[in-house]
A and B are shown apart, each in its own frame.
Chain A
Amino acid sequence: MALSRLKGAGLAVPDGVCLTVAAYARYFQQPGVKERILLELYRKRAKDLRWEEIWDAAHRIRNVFLSVPIPPEMHDGLLQQLEERFGSAPVVVRSSSPQEDSEKASFAGLHDSYVNIRGAEAVLDHVRMVWASLWSDRALLYRKELGLAMDRSSMAVVIQELLSGDCSGVAFGVSPVDESLGVIEAVYGLNQGLVEGSVVPDRWTIARGTGEISAFQPAERKDALRPGPQGVASRPLDGAQRQSPPLDEEGVSSVWEMVLSAERVFGSPQDVEWTRCDGRIYLLQSRPVTARRRGEEDDERVRYFKLSRSFDNLRSLRTAIEEIHLPEMERTAAEMSSVALEQMGDRDLAEEIHRRKLVHDHWVGVYWDQFIPMAHGVRLFGQVFNQVMRPRDPYRFVDLLRDTPMMSLERDRLLRHLADMVRGDPDLRSELDRGRIPGDHSGFNRVMQRLLEAFGDLTWQGVRLVDSQAEIIALVRQLADEPAKRERESDRDAKSLAEEFVAGFEINRQPYARELLDLARASWRLRDDDNIYLGRIEGQLRAAVSEGVDRILAKGIQVPQPPDPGEVAKALRDPGYRPRTIRSDTAVGAGRVVPRQIVGQPAGRGVVRGTARVVTGFSDLSHFSRGEILVCDTLDPNMTLFVALAGGIVERRGGMLIHSAIIAREYGIPCVNGVPDAASIIRTGDDITVDGYLGIVVVHGGAADRGSGMDPGPGGRRQQEEAVPMGP
């Protein structure tokens, strides 16, 4: 054990207890732990897992750790040892990879640490959570990208007395960019903030030869993490601290001395975490500096940390999105829609297309940098909820988020309103059936107008809703055929569940619980709304492009579909230019191998058997019949129009918190997502079962079988192959 060797060598190390890798193994090897986790992880090939699915797998795996207790004899032994050693003093529970193991498999902060935990029972609970962090999404992704086995699992846990240091940091015995240098970073308070990237450190570069400071890079000092009533809390620094670095020169040289001592003990430059308490520098953790270039790894750190946002970070993200970005997007879209495109000359239109392309690209960037991370509000809440409530269903928390108004639901409400009108008015219906736009049924036209005004700018695959009235009317007619409105799952329990959740916290932590729930609801709502705002901007880009396309076509020049904005702009500027195809669809050949049972993610409860309708473009809307199973590559939020009609949903993209899952839960429709190649494997007309409990899609038979001239018989019984999984 690294720390005991350091202590033996005379370094100051906080008092602690180590739970070895053997303790982890003993827990992990229990019946029902290891195999449950590996079954979860091996449902799909690693390369088919999107990060959202990895988060889902990690979320369910974490629930295994939360629900399976430490074996009784082991628990009792540890409890006694911890009580004797720490009593009710606050401790830190942190992961500690064995030295020989850590070369590549981890870095500071990859796995979770819990600071300021009191009482042996609570410590043991947190030990399980540290073990679980070996399977967190960022740990799994990190191992996946490094080409390490994702199921590699071995971890020691250190329980140390909490040193409430006045300043803390990390230090590298050798610098990433120059082997003749070392690096020290320091922040006020605990080093949690530095390790997680939420507090920016002061940074010193040390000449390894002389131990002299060769460069100093001060930080903009604002906050420090300090022990709170439980865990840590961010506190603003006072004026004096903002003005001066956390370490003076003497402090820097004591930290450097310690780094060199650790290097002597282990025989190679070390990556250490340290804290200063009562004037003394303590070493908290030591690992060898990895062989890879540190600079590269620092970038990666940032990337992996982006996968889990802190509460404070999410709060400021929410403010920025709600108060700055969304209003600005709305203004931008409104400003663009007021431009009279048809009055522009070709050159000006080309300029306008170019400008809108840049605006759209900008917002796509914001979407990825800010809106997508905002989804972590839901993830963070899910994690805390499960920790507090320990529910059987790891997605129980979603029930608490659902009753928030979403824009797509508002749009669907307008659609249903139209359908109600058609249902109650035979004249209106027969006019629509004859393909006429209704005349004086003023109510109908008014609601239709409202729908188009509010959502007409939305696009899907380059087609704007406002240009698709025929499809909308076809949809409304189908909705009108539906006898009763589909019952939404009851929200009855949501309120009492929320109260139960808040009551699971100590009184002084309950405001945090409420605020977290509020944040999660905002995150849930924004993840839907942001797509609609972005859709509006894309709609404006498309409007300009389609104006351009019309003009080019009028000159008798062909434009490949879908039109590329850059190509259209070029053709407008240069009358001799012929637009090229930028992307081509991949053809899927009919093979001798037919998938029969495909594993995805259970994303909406329920089971349904029906006919598949593969939806690849807006025109499929008019063909969609009630009860068919909607199969798509990516369920665009703007496609949720279809969902009211669908008997079930199958999607290639996977995740419990993406649109198909959200909408399926809203409507209570069976949904399986994360089905690799769903839209190309499954054909329109296939007879399929969507099992939204187990997350599988069964292809009983369909177009291909019938096409072969072979009689499939009732229920497609005569298939030659079936991919029945082993065991069940």
Chain B
Amino acid sequence: MVGDNTERQIRRMLTGQRVGVLATSQEGSPHVCLIAFAATPDLSRIVFATSRSTRKYANIIRDAGVTLLVDDRANREEDFHRAAAVTAHGTAREIAGEGEGERRLFLEKHPYLGDFVASPTCALFEIQVQRYFLVSRFQNVVEFKVPR
């Protein structure tokens, strides 16, 4: 089934890649940056961390709408037929206090960021994903709505 396969491909991409491109909005202009992330197994949420003095933090506080791009390109010619990309649209929310599970999820994937996440100036966020777009074989695009 196309649906199952799409979900599997998205999951493989989100577990296989460590870093993605996060887009936030700054007074109508996009601002993008690289972030380390981890996705929940059901794909409904994506966890990341940022220091509170960054631009992305300030942007999200004003406008929670964000987009994350994750891809597996290798900067080679064959990327054009081989590489795939997943774009996740969603809403970011700071996880305050209770987020033990999210913290663990994030640190299992990025154990070297323990000190960073433990800092009181570091904020843990989750993106509640509404939908994914999977782009493969150059121009194939499939939308996947996250079940609620």
A-to-B contact residues, CB < 8 Å: 31-32, 35-36, 39, 597, 607, 609, 689, 691, 693-694, 696, 698, 700, 715, 717, 722, 724, 726-728
Q: How far is the CA of A609 from the CA of B19 in the complex (A)?
A: 29
Query: Could you tell me if B53 and A696 are in contact, using CB atoms closer than 8 angstroms?
Result: yes
Query: Could you tell me if A728 and B111 are in contact, using CB atoms closer than 8 angstroms?
Result: no
User: Can you name the residue of chain A whose Cβ is closest to the Cβ of B19?
Assistant: A727
Q: How far is the CA of A36 from the CA of B117 in the complex (A)?
A: 13
Q: Mark out the residues of chain B between 1 and 50 whose CB falls within 8 Å of any chain A CB in the assembled complex.
A: 19, 26-27, 33-36, 49-50
CB distance from A56 to the nearest CB of B (A): 13
Given that A722-B55, A724-B55, A728-B50 are known contacts, is A32 also in contact with B119, CB under 8 Å in the complex? no
Q: How far is the CA of A424 from the CA of B112 in the complex (A)?
A: 53
Q: How far is the CA of A698 from the CA of B53 in the complex (A)?
A: 7
Query: Could you tell me if B53 and A39 are in contact, using CB atoms closer than 8 angstroms?
Result: no
Query: Could you tell me if A694 and B112 are in contact, using CB atoms closer than 8 angstroms?
Result: no
Q: Pick from A32, A609, A727 the residue with the most CB of B within 10 Å.
A: A727
CB distance from A150 to the nearest CB of B (A): 17
CB distance from A486 to the nearest CB of B (A): 19
Chain B residues near A31 (CB, 8 Å)? 111-112
Q: Which of B110, B114, B119 contacts A694 (CB 8 A)?
A: B119
Query: Could you tell me if B111 and A36 are in contact, using CB atoms closer than 8 angstroms?
Result: yes
Q: A31-B111, A717-B58 are in contact. List 10 more A-B contacts (CB 8 A).
A: A693-B120, A693-B121, A698-B54, A722-B55, A724-B33, A724-B34, A724-B56, A726-B19, A728-B35, A728-B51
User: Can you name the residue of chain B whose Cβ is closest to the Cβ of A36?
Assistant: B112
Query: Could you tell me if A727 and B111 are in contact, using CB atoms closer than 8 angstroms?
Result: no
Given that A36-B111, A728-B49 are known contacts, is A694 also in contact with B36, CB under 8 Å in the complex? no
Q: Which of A609, A691, A717, A727 contacts B113 (CB 8 A)?
A: A727
Q: How far is the CA of A32 from the CA of B109 in the complex (A)?
A: 10
Q: How far is the CA of A717 from the CA of B55 in the complex (A)?
A: 8
Query: Could you tell me if A39 and B119 are in contact, using CB atoms closer than 8 angstroms?
Result: no
Q: How far is the CA of A715 from the CA of B52 in the complex (A)?
A: 13
User: Can you name the residue of chain A whose Cβ is closest to the Cβ of B26?
Assistant: A717
Q: How far is the CA of A55 from the CA of B64 in the complex (A)?
A: 42
Given that A32-B112, A32-B114, A35-B112 are known contacts, is A728 also in contact with B36, CB under 8 Å in the complex? yes
CB distance from A570 to the nearest CB of B (A): 52
With an 8 A cutoff between CB atoms, is B138 at the interface?
no
Q: Mark out the residues of chain B between 112 and 148 whose CB falls within 8 Å of any chain A CB in the assembled complex.
A: 112-116, 119-122
Q: Secondary structure at chain A's binding surface: helix, strand, loop or mixed?
A: mixed
Chain B residues near A691 (CB, 8 Å)? 51, 53, 119, 121
Q: How far is the CA of A722 from the CA of B59 in the complex (A)?
A: 13
CB distance from B31 to the nearest CB of A (A): 8
Chain A residues near B19 (CB, 8 Å)? 726-727
Chain B residues near A698 (CB, 8 Å)? 53-54
Can you list, as one digit per residue, whether each of B44-81 has a CB less than 8 Å from chain A (1) or not (0)? 00000111111110100000000000000000000000
Q: Which of B54, B115, B120 contacts A724 (CB 8 A)?
A: B54
Q: How far is the CA of A32 from the CA of B58 in the complex (A)?
A: 30
Q: Pick from A694, A696, A715 the residue with the most CB of B within 10 Å.
A: A694
Chain A residues near B52 (CB, 8 Å)? 607
CB distance from B99 to the nearest CB of A (A): 16
CB distance from B60 to the nearest CB of A (A): 13
Q: How far is the CA of A97 from the CA of B49 in the complex (A)?
A: 40
CB distance from A92 to the nearest CB of B (A): 33
Chain B residues near A700 (CB, 8 Å)? 53
Chain A residues near B27 (CB, 8 Å)? 717
Query: Could you tell me if A694 and B121 are in contact, using CB atoms closer than 8 angstroms?
Result: yes
User: Can you name the residue of chain A whose Cβ is closest to the Cβ of B115?
Assistant: A36
Query: Could you tell me if B35 and A727 are in contact, using CB atoms closer than 8 angstroms?
Result: yes
Q: How far is the CA of A696 from the CA of B121 in the complex (A)?
A: 11
CB distance from A713 to the nearest CB of B (A): 9
User: Can you name the residue of chain B whose Cβ is closest to the Cβ of A688?
Assistant: B53
Chain A residues near B114 (CB, 8 Å)? 32, 36
CB distance from A670 to the nearest CB of B (A): 9
CB distance from B61 to the nearest CB of A (A): 11
Query: Could you tell me if A715 and B111 are in contact, using CB atoms closer than 8 angstroms?
Result: no
Query: Could you tell me if B53 and A728 are in contact, using CB atoms closer than 8 angstroms?
Result: no
Q: Pick from B27, B112, B122 the residue with the most CB of A within 10 Å.
A: B112
User: Can you name the residue of chain B whose Cβ is closest to the Cβ of A700?
Assistant: B53
Chain B residues near A39 (CB, 8 Å)? 112
Chain B residues near A689 (CB, 8 Å)? 53
Query: Could you tell me if A694 and B51 are in contact, using CB atoms closer than 8 angstroms?
Result: yes
CB distance from A40 to the nearest CB of B (A): 9
22 sample A-B contacts, Cβ–Cβ < 8 Å, listed by A number: A32-B111, A36-B111, A36-B112, A36-B114, A36-B115, A597-B53, A609-B53, A693-B119, A694-B116, A694-B121, A694-B122, A698-B53, A698-B54, A722-B54, A724-B33, A724-B56, A727-B35, A727-B110, A728-B36, A728-B50, A728-B113, A728-B116
